[in-house]
Amino acid sequence: MAPRLSPAAALERALATKRILVACGSGGVGKTTTAAALAVRAARSGRRVLVCTIDPSRRLATSLGLNQLTGKPRAIELTRLSPPPSRDGALWAMVLDVKSTFDELVTRHTPDAAARERILGNRFYRHISAALAGSHEYMAMEKLLELSADERWELLVLDTPPTRHALDFLEAPDRLLDFLDTSILRWFLRPYFVAGRLTLKVATRTGAIAFRLADRFLGLQFLQDLSEFFLAFESMYDGFKERAARVHELLRESSSGFVMVAGPTALALEEALYFHRRLTEKRMNFVGFVVNRVHTDPAREVRAQRRGRAAVAPELAARLAETLREQQVLARVERRAVARQELDTRERPVLVPELEQDVHDLRGLAEFGELLFSGAPAGARRAAVAR
């Protein structure tokens, strides 16, 4: 077996060789920032990179220092950074626009204008397609497939939605496949649900019971609209299924990798652990753990000093000591949580100390990247962030 790379080196190699990198993790752990920083890093080292966030709250734009990103990939100017990127490197960024992705999908995959209009004009489709959770995962999947076929980019870095469960996204293809496979569709596609035919006698007894029950707790109008919705999509089912199966494969290819992002709290790491296990079960390539916003112990960052009483006024001295103590408590709690996770997964995480400033521009992202890969000591970090 080849010698094991350090966690940062493994991540670096993934940036240089993979085609798709997916950043996963629960909300609020700096996932978007990490995804953007990885993309900036890869672009600066010469790859053509697209970073796509499917986070509906548009945080990617913020971390790139832009007010707004759209569903169209937009080139990000890297020349402001020093040193400037190597000649071939380039960065694009976009957010997933669920509604327009859905519309495009319909436009592209319907056999004719009539079928297209039937979907786009469907009331259920118009209101439900973009507004709801779940559709984000489905559309992210479709977008990923579309982008992966685009030769303009060598690397796609994908941020995932801020679900409580990072798995929701990974399971979207399977869930869709599962859904399209069941008899539920056939059930809905039975003619008695279709408008205008609701009064027809229901053919079978079981059918009649199911029908009455469904009416009771979902309502005829709902069922009717849903049937029409499904019927309108009938021409697209095979395509859906085929593409969901392709995403399923794509995510398991050796050129795809997953980066798990977590915060240093026991809860966030517990979830990371669970995710790691599921990823392995699903035969997906785990690339590395990134633990963000680690609080360091100030006492470990300064050299051992002369002993003897310091010349500080008593009241200030007490407050200083208290300030140090509370930060040490935090650092200790986090160290323990990280150690436990390491023990459980046998994967050493890349630890990123809390930054002195929030990352919300390109330079901040580049610095974040440096930190990610160097594990630079705090002193160097301060120098890097000074403006």
Partner 1 sequence: MRLDDLLSRRLVVLTGKGGVGKSVVGAALAVAAQERGKRVLLVEVAAPVEAARLLGGPPSQGRETEALPGLFTVNLDPAAVMDEYVRHVVRLEMLVRRILDSPIYRRFFAAAPGLKELMVLGKIMVLEEARERLSKKPRWDLVVVDAPATGHGLAFLKVPLAASAAVPVGPIGHNARRVLAMLRDPGRTALVVVAIPEEMAVVEAVQFHRLAAEEIGMEPAALVLNGCHERRFTDEDEAEVLRLTSEGAEGELEPDVPLPAALRAARRQIRRRKLTHFYRTRLRRTLDTPLVSLPFLFREALGLEDVRLLARKLEAA
User: What residues from 140 to 169 belong to the interface with partner 1 (CB under 8 A)?
Assistant: 161-164
Spell out the alpha helix ranges (H) of 54-182: 59-63, 98-109, 113-120, 123-131, 135-148, 167-181
Tell me the window of 215-223, 236-244, 341-349, 365-373 that interacts with partner 1 (CB under 8 A). 215-223
Vertex 32, ends 26 and 33: CA angle to 5°?
120
As measured in angstroms, the least distance from the Cβ of 123 to partner 1 is 6
**Minimum CB distance to partner 1 smaller for 16 or for 210:** 210
CB of 326 to partner 1, least distance (A): 4
State the minimum distance, in angstroms, from the CB of residue 323 to partner 1.
5
Tell me how far apart the alpha carbons of residues 229 and 65 are, in angstroms, rounded to a whole number: 40
From 29-37, 233-241, 338-346, 367-375, give the range in contact with partner 1 by CB under 8 A: 29-37
- Considering only residues 172-211, where is the footprint of partner 1 by CB under 8 A? 175-176, 178-179, 182-184, 187, 209
The letter for the amino acid at 163 is: T
Interface segment toward partner 1; rule CB under 8 A; list 77-85, 124-132, 232-240, 344-352: 124-132
Cβ proximity of 135 and 129 under 8 Å = yes
Q: Within positions 246 to 305, which residues make up the interface with partner 1, using CB under 8 A?
A: 263, 267-268, 270-271, 298-299, 301-305
358: phi > 0 → left, psi -120 to 50 → alpha, else beta; which?
beta
Identify which of residues 252 and 319 has a Cβ nearer to partner 1 in the complex: 319
Minimum distance from residue 251 beta carbon to partner 1 (Å): 19
User: Edge to edge, what strands does the sheet with 256-262 contain?
Assistant: 74-76, 90-95, 48-53, 155-159, 20-24, 256-262, 286-294, 350-353
Quickly tell me which residue has 């509370």 as its tokens.
Answer: 326
Nearer to partner 1, 11 or 244 (CB): 244
- Nearest approach in angstroms of CB 9 to partner 1 is 28
Write each residue from 220 to 239 as x if it is in contact with partner 1 (CB under 8 A), else as -, in one continuous string: xxx--xx-------------
The nearer residue to partner 1, 151 or 315, going by C-beta atoms, is 315
Which is nearer to partner 1, 19 or 241 (by Cβ)? 241
Nearest CA to 49 out of 36, 68, 30 is that of: 36
Which tokens is 234 given? 């009938």
Report the site for partner 1 in 60-119 (rule: CB under 8 A). 62-63
Rounded-to-integer distance, Cα 17 and Cα 11, Å: 10
Residues from 321 through 380 that contact partner 1 (CB under 8 A): 321, 323-327, 329-330, 333, 356-360
* Residue whose tokens read 């079960």: 281
Tell me the CA distances in angstroms from 270 to 105, 300, 334, one per residue in order.
37, 26, 12
Which of 306, 343, 386, 387: binder of partner 1 (CB under 8 A)? Answer: 306
Among 14, 29, 95, 106, binds partner 1 (CB under 8 A): 29
Enter the tokens of residue 150. Answer: 């685009």
Query: Minimum distance between the CB of residue 5 and partner 1, rounded to whole angstroms?
Result: 30
- In angstroms, give the least distance from the CB of 105 to partner 1: 15
Largest CA distance in the chain: 95
Nearer to partner 1, 303 or 387 (CB): 303
Comparison of 8 and 66: residue with beta carbon closer to partner 1? 66
- Of 41-49, 53-61, 88-96, 249-257, which part binds partner 1 (CB under 8 A)? 53-61
Binding range to partner 1, per CB under 8 A, among 9-17, 27-35, 38-46, 99-107: 27-35
Q: Give the span between the Cα atoms of 242 and 225, in whole angstroms.
A: 25
Which whole-number Å values give the CA distances from 71 to 44, 84, 100, 103, 139, in the listed order? 23, 27, 8, 12, 12
Q: Which of 52, 90, 57, 43 is nearest to 71 (CA)?
A: 52
